[in-house]
Amino acid sequence: MNLRQSIRLLTTGSLALTAGMAIMSAQASSHREAPFITENPKVDASDFYMFNSYEAGRAGYVTLIANYVPLQDSYGGPNYFTMDDDALYEIHVDNNGDAKEDITFQFRFTNRIRDVALTVGGQSVSVPLRQVGGIGPNVTDTANLNETETYQVAMVRGDRRKGTSAALMNSVSGATTFVKPVDNIGNKSIADYATYAGNHIYTVDVPGCGQGRMFVGQRKDGFAVNLGEIFDLVNTNPLGPVNGEANTLADKNVTSIALEVPASCLTRGSDPVIGAWTTASLRQGRVLNPKPSYASGKKMKVSGGAWTQVSRLGSPLVNEVVIGLKDKDRFNASEPKDDAQFATYVTNPTLPALVEVLFGVHAPQVFPRTDLVAAFLTGVATLNKPATVAASEMLRLNTTTAAVNAGSQNNLGVIAGDAAGFPNGRRPGDDVVDIALRVVMGVLLSSADAPDGQLPYTDGAYVDANDFDTAFPYLKTPLAGSPN
């Protein structure tokens, strides 16, 4: 029995809320998907990847990549795209199937201004730029930077707020503070950005787990989607060639939080399956300072109170095209253990009906859509379903599935017979848009239930493993603001 047949045989009447979770993936990544997050792009999670590392010599490791601050134009000076030092960025891992975090990696950022000044007409005057000369290639080559960005990382076991916390440590220096490279301003400021950024890949001691690797910095956005036409009432041919449309995000950068850790660090007991998602939180209270002064440490806003989650992402596009507009902020503030509250939106998915109306194809008429449960809510039996599982939206990965090298990956993942691909985790080269379109239109159903389920649905923006590096952190060097 193949994977597709296995999925078809999995049904459940009580967990139909997953039906919509597949649709979430069917348009774009999570860029500006909720009203509040449009006002706070620095805490906007845009993509989350989790996969068994396929870099040569890294068997037994899992890579997790959380992207934030989407839609970055490479020329976005003079301030570019720092992280929010009033925010808490987190990657959560559930290793017992109860939809609650068992391990959390917490990232906090600190931005500091040097207040570089020039003497002009006998007066010392602060410069308006982030840099006043060449930068790099070494981590310590920061003399010409007017603003620096560092970060610290804690690993929390148990509840994210009440569990036991310990810091990740630089394996070479023993430091617990890490330097984030400045964005790719341009080739005059940073002559060799690839080398400069590569020097910010750290070997780290992960508490209780041995060594891993870590990188935080700007990357070229790896997500591919025909974004504008998709959201213009699917103003494209969903049966057109898989590479027949432009990738709207091809000229954008993003900020990546990337970790590679031993798989044994993330699993529990004999169960090799983990689930994971990423979040960002802000302090509950915020007061605007009418007399800010960055140089003196007096910010425009002063924050305090409990952490409040404002962004959440597991599988791509959950909040973007399934959750009703009135509840998008509520979804971003929610946790997987509470996903039943959104059942109304997902038991009767709207995307297939929309595609049917717009293009005359036949949407599946089987309700609830139990074919989607295994792929997007509980995991697929014999592939990535935990021994016990609470229905919830997150990426799930079987850490014992053999990684497939970049040259042999199928960008349609599991539905094309590549068990190491989406939805068994997610690799950068998995075309999750096309995968999800085909699943939601019924590729896993019989022809009687989904007459047009075997059609090659696509958004036309093609992506595969060849678009990425074959080594950590996999996402490519960001586009330069000044390429010449």
The pLDDT tens digits for 376-389 are 778 888 999 999 99
Res. 20: pLDDT tops 70: no
Q: What is the pTM of this model?
A: 0.92
Angle at 169 between CA 166 and CA 172, to 5 degrees: 160
**Greatest mean pLDDT among 153-157, 289-293, 301-305, 342-346:** 153-157
- Taking each continuous run of H as one helix and of E as one strand, the counts in the chain are 12, 16
Report the pLDDT value the prediction gives residue 11, as an integer from 0 to 100: 35
Cα distances from 218 to residues 65, 192, 254, in angstroms, run: 12, 14, 6
Instruction: Give the integer Cα–Cα distance in Å for 295 and 299.
Output: 9
Domain assignments of the chain as residue spans, ordered by start: 3-467
Contact 318, 30 (CB under 8 A): yes
Count of other CB atoms within 10 angstroms of residue 245: 22
Sign, CA dihedral 166-172-176-177, equals negative
User: Tens of pLDDT along 179-229?
Assistant: 999 999 999 999 999 999 999 999 999 999 999 999 999 999 999 888 778
Mean pLDDT of 137-142: 94
User: Tens of pLDDT along 270-280?
Assistant: 999 999 999 99
Report the pLDDT value the prediction gives residue 342, as an integer from 0 to 100: 77
Nearest by Cα to 267 from 413, 408, 360, 386: 386
- Give the list of residues 6+ apart from residue 207 with CB closer than 8 angstroms, or none: 155, 166, 167, 168
